Structure 1
Amino acid sequence: MAIGNVLEAEVSTKQNQNIAAPELVWKGYEKVAFRILFIFFFILTVPIDPEYYAQWFNIDWTNPHIRDLGGLGGFGYRFTTINTESGMFGLASYVNWGIALVIGVVGGVVWTLLDHKSTNYRILYYFITVAVTYAMITRLQGLTFSKIFPSQMPPLAETQLNTLLGDFVPQKLYWIQLSFVPSYEVFLGFAELLVMGLLFFRGTRALGAALAIAMIGNIAISNHVYDGGVHVLASFYALGGAFVLWPYLRPIWNLLVNQKDEVLTIYRFPFKKPWQKALRIGLKVFTIAIFFVLSAYLHYDNYEHDSYKVPSRPGLANSKGLYEVTEFKVNGQAIPYSPLDSLRWQDVTFEKWSTISYSVFNTFNIHGEAGRGKQF
C-alpha cells in the first residue's frame, strides 16, 4: 500500500505539472490603483527628456568628471518650478510630483475605460518596480561615494571656523555637523552603499527598500528642517522604497504578527529568450560598471587630487589665518572702523588655497532669514 501511495503521488504530481496554474485575477480597485501608480512612477523614474539622452553623447568619456555622472543618474520630468520660499524648501517644491499624480489619475481613468479584458498587470508591475529600483540606485551613487571619499561635507575651512554661529544659514549648520566628524560621514556613505547593493539583487531588494525608507527618509526630514535643498531627491528614495516594499508587507505581517506560515508569490519575469537574458545581464553589467565602479573611482580621484568643492590652486605661502583689518581705504580715502559700516571690512580670512573672505555689517535675506557678514 505504501508503494502504491507513492506511485499514485508521483502520477498525480506529473499530471499536475501539465495543468496550467489558474491566472491571477486582481480586484477592480487594485487594477485602478496600479494604472495610476504606473503612470505616476513612470514619469518620476523613466527619463523622457531628450536632454538626458543627449548628455550621454556630450560627455568626454576619455576624461569624465563626477558631475557628469550626477546627470546620468536620471531625474523625474520637471514640468515647472515655483520660485518662492515654499517652492525651494516647502510643499510647493513637490509641484512636479503633484502634476505627475494628476496625469496618473487622468491616465488611469482613461486606461480603465479602455481596458476591460486584463485580469492583472503583473508583468508591467515587475518592470515598473525594476525602473523604480534602478532609479534609486543610479541617483544615490553620487551622494554615496561623495561620503565614502568625504567631499560632500569637506573639512571646515578657516572662514567657517571664524564665522559667528548666527551668520550661518540653517542648511550650512546641518552640513557642518558632518564636517566635524569625517568618520561618521564615511559611515553614512557605506550605509548608502549597502542600500544600493541590497536593491541591486532581487533576493535582497525588499531589505534595501526598507533601509532606504528608514535612513534616507530621515535625511529628507532633516533637509526640510534645515532647508537643505535636496529634500525632494531624498523623499524619492522613501517613496520609491515604499513602492518596492509594498507587496512584501502582507506576508511579513502574517508571519511576524499573525504567526502564520507564508510563501512569497512575488512575480518575476522569466527572461526565457536569449535576447532577453542578454539584455538583463547587459543592463546589470552596465549599471555596475558606470554607477558603482566608475563612480567610485571618479569620487576617489576627486577626493585625492582635485576636490570640486575646494580650489586646487594654493594661496599665499604661510598666510592662512584670520586677520583684523586695522586700515581700510576706498579710492585712497581711509574709512574709520565702525561695527555698523556696510562697506568697511572688519576682518579677512586667508585659506590655504587661493580664496579669501571678509566680514562686513550687512542685513539681507538668504532663504528668508536676515544675515550679517559672511553667509554660507
Structure 2
Amino acid sequence: MHYPAELLQKLIPWIGKHVLHLSYDITEFTNGSGDTTYDYVVVFTIACSAFAGTVIWSLLDRKRKSYQTLYYWLTTAVRYYVALMLFNYGLWKVIKMQFPAPDLYRLTQPYGDSSPMGLAWTFLGFSKGYNLFMGFAEIAALLLLFRRTMTLGAVITLCTTANVMAVNYFYDVPVKIVSSMLFIMTLFLLSNDATRLLRFFLTDNPVSLPPIKAPVFSKKWMHIAKASLKTLLIGYTIIFGIYEAKQMEKKYGDTAPKPKLYGLYNVDTFVINNDTLPPLITDTIRWKEFLIEWEGFARLQDMTDRTSMFTIIQDTISKKIDFIPKADTALKYTLYYDTPGSNKLNFKGMIQKDSVSIFMTRKDTKDFLLMNRGFNWINEYPFNR
C-alpha cells in the first residue's frame, strides 16, 4: 500500500458512508476534477481533525500566551505553498499550456453546446496577451518567499486568487476547493498586517509594515544551512518547473507537431455507388465536414450536423486509413486517400457495401472570425458579433 493515498482512498469512502451517511458510495477519487465527493469529504475530515486538535492543544497548553516561533514556521509553510503553487500555475499560463488557443473542435462546436467551463477555456485561451497578464500576476506570488516582500506579494496574490476563484465558481470549473484554499491562505498571510493596512488605506496616519520576526539561531552553521536550503528549494522549483513546462509545450502546446492530415475539411463532392449526392441538410449519408486534429482520432459530421467519432489507423506508405467507429468498433472500413493539392484531401473505397469517392477542401483557421479579427485601436462602431 502506498501511503497516504491508498489509505485515504479506503478511509474517506468509509467516512462518507458511515459518518456522513451519503446516499451513494464514493468511487471517484481525485482526477482531472478537484471537486469530487471524495475531495469534499477529505476537506471535511481535515477540518474536523484540525478542530479536535485545536481544542485538545488549547486545553493542554492553556497557560501559554503566544506561539511566535510556531507562527513563523506556519506562515513560512503557507508562504512557500501558495508561492510555488501559483508560480507553476502562472508559468503554464505564460507558455499557454493551461489555456491553449481554440482548437478546431472548439471552432466548429455550436456555441450553445459548449459547457460553462468550455466557454471559459475558449475565452481565456483566445488571447496570448491575456495569458501573459494572468501568468505574470500569478508568478508575482514569488514575492511571498521573502519576509520583506510578503505583504506586497499577498496583496497581489489576493487579487489573483480572487479572480481565479470567481472564474472557477461562476463557470463551474472543478478546482473550487484548491482556489478557495489559496485565497483563504493568502487572507491568513495578510491578517498579520490587517490593522496596519486598514490604517494605510482609510487614514492619513503613517504606517510601517515590519516583517515577521524569524527565530534567531545560536550557531552560524544553522543560518548557512537555512539560507542554502531556501536557495536550493527555490532554484530547483523554478528551474525544473521551467524545464518541465517547456518540454510539455513542445509535446502538447500550440506549436506541437500535428498529425499528417491535420485539418478541418469541407466536403465538396460526395459520390456513393456512382451517384453524386447533393448537399441536402436532411441527408444523413452525405458527409459535410471531416476533422483530424489529434493523432489516431477523427470526427465526421453529416449534413444534419450529427457527429461521429472514429479511431483511425493511418498507413502513409499505402496511403490508406482504417476507420473504426467509437459507437461500434465492429464496423471497420478502409478508405484510400490522396492529396492532390496542399489543401485538398480525397477518399476512395468501400463503406460497408457502398463504394464512395469523397472530395474535400481544407478550411484555414483564419477563415473563422474569432481567429482573424485581430486587435484594433480604432473601432468606429462596436464589433460585437
Structure 1-normalised TM-score?
Answer: 0.63
Residue 69 (structure 2) pairs with residue 127 (structure 1): no
Q: Which has the higher contact order (CA 8 A, sep 6+)?
A: 1
Corresponding position of 1:13? none
Equivalent runs, 1:26-45 vs 2, <5 Å = none
| 1:306 aligned partner | 251
1:217-273 deviation line (CA, Å, top 9, x unaligned): 211111111111222222222111001110101122234434444555633222343
Give the counterpart letter for 2:290 in structure 1: V
Q: Is the contact made by 2:102 and 2:126 (CA closer than 8 Å) also made in structure 1?
A: yes
Q: Whose strand proportion is higher, 1 or 2? A: 2
* CA shift digits 1:259-299 (9 cap, x unpaired): 44455563322234334323322332222222212211221
Q: 1:227 to 1:328 in 2, by over 3 A?
A: farther
Question: In the alignment, is residue 158 of structure 1 matched against residue 82 of structure 2?
Answer: no
For residues 111-190 of structure 1, what are the structure 2 equivalents within 5 Å?
111-190=57-136
Cα 1:256–1:338 change in 2 (3 A) is closer
Amino acid at match of 2:292: F
Q: Is the 8 A contact 1:162 1:322 kept in 2?
A: no
After superposition, where does 1:312-351 map in structure 2 within 5 Å?
A: 312=257, 314-316=259-261, 320-324=263-267, 347-351=289-293
- For residues 76-95 of structure 1, what are the structure 2 equivalents within 5 Å? 79=12, 94-95=40-41
| Greater CA drift, 320-329 or 271-280 | 320-329
Check the 8 A contact 2:34/2:175 in 1, yes or no: no
Query: What amino acid does structure 2 have at the position aligned with 1:320?
Result: G
Structure (1 or 2) with the greater helix fraction: 1
Aligned to 1:251: 196
The aligned residue for residue 207 of structure 1 is 152
Q: Distance in 2 between matches of 1:166 and 1:215?
A: 29
Q: Residue 49 and residue 208 in structure 1: after superposition, are their counterparts in 2 closer, same or farther (change >3 A)?
A: farther
Shift of 1:326: 7.5
* Contact 1:195-1:209 within 8 A present in 2 as well: yes
Name the amino acid aligned to 1:209.
Answer: A
Structure 1 unaligned blocks of 5 or more:
1-47, 53-77, 330-335, 363-376
1:126–1:267 CA contact under 8 A, matched in 2:
yes
Counterpart in 1 of 2:360? none
Contact 1:146 1:152 in 2 (8 A): yes
For the aligned residue pairs, the C-alpha RMSD in angstroms reads 3.8
CA distance in structure 1 between the aligned counterparts of 2:282 and 2:35, rounded to whole angstroms: 33
Closer, same or farther in 2 for the Cα pair 1:158/1:124, shift >3 Å?
A: same
- Is 1:292 the counterpart of 2:234? The answer is no
The alignment status of 1:235 with 2:180, answered yes or no, reads yes
Q: Which moved more, 1:96-105 or 1:351-360?
A: 351-360
CA offset at residue 135 of structure 1?
Answer: 0.9
**Counterpart for residue 65 of structure 1:** none
Map residues 1-16 of structure 1 onto 2, 5 A cutoff.
none
In the aligned structure 2, how far is the partner of 1:320 from the partner of 1:258? 61
The equivalent residue for 2:344 is none
In structure 1, distance between residues paired with 2:286 and 2:56: 65
Measure how far apart 1:355 and its partner are.
4.0
Contact 1:315 1:354 in 2 (8 A): no
**Which of 162, 180, 187 is equivalent to 1:217?**
162
Counterparts in 2 of 1:256 and 1:182: CA distance versus 1, 3 Å: closer
1:290-347 deviations in Å (ceiling 9; x for gaps): 22122112212332x222798745322xx52233498699xxxxxx998697x99764
Residue identity matched to 1:279:
A
Q: List alignment gaps of at least 5 residues for structure 2.
A: 17-25, 273-278, 308-385
Q: Which residue of 1 aligns with 2:223?
A: 277
Report the number of matched residues. 279
Match of 1:9 in 2: none
Aligned-residue offset at 1:144? 1.3
Q: Deviation of residue 109 (structure 1)?
A: 1.1
Shift of 1:102: 1.7
The answer to whether the Cα contact below 8 Å between 2:87 and 2:141 also exists between their aligned partners in 1 is: no
Whether the aligned pair in 2 keeps the contact of 1:216 and 1:237 (CA below 8 Å) is yes
Amino acid at match of 1:296: I
Change (3 A) 1:272 1:328: farther
Q: What SS does the corresponding residue of 2:265 show, helix, strand or coil?
A: strand
* Deviation (angstroms), 1:88: 6.7
Q: Is the 8 A contact 1:315 1:355 kept in 2?
A: no
CA distance in 2, matches of 1:352, 1:231: 29
For 2:176, the aligned partner's letter is H
Partners of 1:100 and 1:192 lie apart in 2 by 27
Distance 1:162 1:89, change over 3 A: same
TM-score by length of 2: 0.62
Structure 1 residues 209 and 264: CA distance shift in structure 2, 3 A: closer
Counterparts of 2:172 and 2:38, CA distance in 1: 13
Q: How does 1:352-367 map to 2 (within 5 A)?
A: 355-359=297-301, 361=306
Deviation (angstroms), 1:120: 0.9
Task: Kindly provide the amino acid, as one letter, of the partner of residue 321 in structure 1.
Answer: L
Could you tell me which residue of structure 1 aligns to residue 47 of structure 2? 101
Identity of aligned residues (%): 25
**Residue pair 2:264, 2:289 contacting (<8 A) in 1 also:** no
How many angstroms apart in 2 are the aligned matches of 1:247 and 1:221?
A: 25
